[in-house]
Amino acid sequence: MTDSPVTNRPDPATRPPTVTWALRLWLISGGLLIVLGVASIITNIVGSGWDFGVVAVAILVAVVGLAYVLLARKAYCEPQWRGALAALTIVAVAMLLVLTVGFQAAGLAVVLFAAVIGLFGSILAYRPDADAWFNGRDPNEPKPEKSGKKRRK
């Protein structure tokens, strides 16, 4: 097995605006999740003591926010991290949606909103021009056809 360098490395000079906005949304979402998680930890410890369930959820929110920020920085420079970040945003939104409905907590609804911002960043990262950039193709070039079944005319 040989380690071959990536041949289709995207050129930062030709980065489309959707890629830049995807990074911005990922970073905003991650920063908001970190701030909301830390603020929740502080208010719960100061206000009501160590309510382990609430503090555990707040720690999880802060860790997910940190993962958003770290993966967003990697995805912006190394395209192979885009899929991992997109999967994390989908899982985080699904998890927070279940928790928000289950606990019926307004605080978790705010956290869910912050996570959805990151999901919008993932959606932008898979738009056609951004997808072409991440894959090292020209956005105006048609996608290569898959070899397999032939279409009938």
User: DSSP assignment of 2-66, as one string?
Assistant: --PPPSSPPPGGG--HHHHHHHHHHHHHHHHHHHHHHHHHHHHHHHH---HHHHHHHHHHHHHHH
- Specify the pLDDT at position 121: 94
Q: Which of 23, 32, 22, 39 is nearest to 114 (CA)?
A: 32
Residue-wise pLDDT tens digits, 23-62: 999 999 999 999 999 998 888 888 776 667 788 888 999 9
pLDDT surpassing 80 at residue 17: yes
Q: With cut-offs at 50, 70 and 90, classify the pLDDT of residue 14.
A: confident
**Average confidence (pLDDT) over 101-114:** 90
Report pTM: 0.80
In whole numbers, what is the pLDDT of the chain averaged over residues? 84
- Specify the pLDDT at position 54: 80
Q: With cut-offs at 50, 70 and 90, classify the pLDDT of residue 1.
A: very low
- Specify the pLDDT at position 145: 66
- Specify the pLDDT at position 4: 47
